[in-house]
């Protein structure tokens, strides 16, 4: 199995995170109070039920907040921006069912939020400490930014099922996953990446640890050996990869694929079958041995 050395950017990022943690330990809790709430509420609009008027937007940046429990009762909010604070989770917002846009970049969030947000369209969780995804149901989510986190895989640990699929996020068209720890290993029992998103148009995977998207070691003749290590559902996923000749899955409407500085050594797996509408491919700062897109017809 080939390994990828950390780039200079990734090393600097780790050092920055360590310095940030050291500084954070010297800071105490900062609770969202009435004064901050009053200054952050804006945009008076008619409420969803049409019976009254209330602020629809709340913005509170760079206040070093660690506690936002006071927002639990503000069910009328549609837009929330809590960027540049010290939040470790977003649980107080889980029952704000009218949320449309939630921005929480540059915090210390460690778990992917599973809120009751049926109208959410934009979710920005970039520059946090999220290590794994969760099973979610965001039927209207269109843009999801998870850049600069610590995510290692896009599938469940046990059965290899996709976290991001057409049931969980059916309208997702833009997905940011750059600067994470996603790694594709040469091992059929460790499927770390996989997407089933028919409406996805732009995918950003740059600065991860992906040598190749090729499934040449997961061809049908190797499935018998893999079946002892994988559940039935996971074997089905591997078979799907073989069908499209790609470890990334099937993205029929993808037009932008950004995989810069991932350690790519070839373009295997970037196939016409997997990405029939691909128009822009960024593979800068890679170690490509050849630059010819595969048609998936040869093995």
What pLDDT was estimated at residue 194?
79
The string of pLDDT tens digits covering residues 271-290 is: 888 899 999 999 998 877 65
Tokens of 140: 């209207």
What pLDDT was estimated at residue 218?
42
- Average confidence score pLDDT of the chain: 82
The string of pLDDT tens digits covering residues 202-242 is: 999 999 998 888 765 444 444 344 444 444 444 455 555 55
What mean pLDDT is predicted for residues 180-193? 68
How many C-alpha atoms does 86 have within 13 Å on its Cβ side?
A: 18
What pLDDT was estimated at residue 191?
60
Who wins on pLDDT, 248 or 118?
118
Burial label for 274, CB within 10 Å (0-12, 13-18, 19+), is buried
- Contact call for residues 76 and 55 (beta carbons, < 8 A): yes
* Lowest-pLDDT choice from 73-82, 91-100, 258-267: 258-267
What pLDDT was estimated at residue 230?
42
Cβ atoms within 10 Å of 278's Cβ, excluding its own: 18
Answer whether residue 200 shows pLDDT above 80.
Answer: yes
Per the listing, tokens 């506690």 go with 67
Cβ atoms within 10 Å of 8's Cβ, excluding its own: 8
pTM of the model: 0.81
What is the dihedral sign for C-alpha 134, 135, 138, 141?
Answer: positive
CA 279 distance to own-chain centroid = 22
């Amino acid at each position: 199995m080939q390994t990828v050395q950390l780039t200079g950017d990734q090393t600097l990022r780790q050092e920055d995170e360590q310095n940030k943690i050291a500084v954070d330990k010297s800071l105490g809790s900062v609770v969202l109070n009435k004064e901050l709430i009053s200054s952050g509420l804006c945009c008076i609009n008619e409420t969803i039920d049409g019976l009254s008027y209330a602020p629809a937007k709340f913005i509170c940046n760079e206040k070093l907040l660690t506690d936002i429990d006071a927002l639990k009762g503000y069910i009328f909010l549609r837009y929330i921006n809590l960027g540049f604070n010290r939040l470790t989770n977003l649980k107080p917002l889980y029952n704000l069912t009218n949320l449309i846009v939630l921005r929480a970049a540059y915090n210390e969030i460690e778990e992917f939020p599973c809120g009751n947000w049926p109208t959410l369209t934009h979710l920005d969780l970039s520059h946090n400490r999220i290590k794994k995804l969760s099973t979610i149901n965001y039927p209207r989510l269109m843009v999801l930014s998870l850049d600069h986190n610590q995510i290692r895989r896009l599938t469940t640990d046990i059965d290899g099922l996709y976290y991001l699929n057409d049931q969980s996020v059916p309208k997702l068209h833009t997905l940011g996953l750059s600067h994470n720890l996603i790694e594709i290993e040469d091992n059929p029992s460790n499927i770390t990446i996989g997407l089933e998103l028919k409406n996805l148009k732009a995918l950003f995977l740059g600065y991860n640890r992906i040598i190749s998207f090729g499934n040449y070691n997961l061809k049908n003749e190797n499935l018998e050996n893999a079946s002892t290590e994988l559940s039935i559902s996971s074997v089905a996923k591997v078979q799907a990869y073989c069908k499209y000749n790609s470890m990334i899955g099937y993205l029929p409407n993808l037009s932008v694929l950004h995989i810069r500085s991932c350690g790519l050594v070839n373009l295997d797996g970037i196939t016409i079958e997997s990405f029939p509408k691909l128009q822009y491919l960024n593979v800068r700062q890679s170690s490509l041995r050849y630059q010819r897109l595969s048609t998936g017809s040869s093995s």
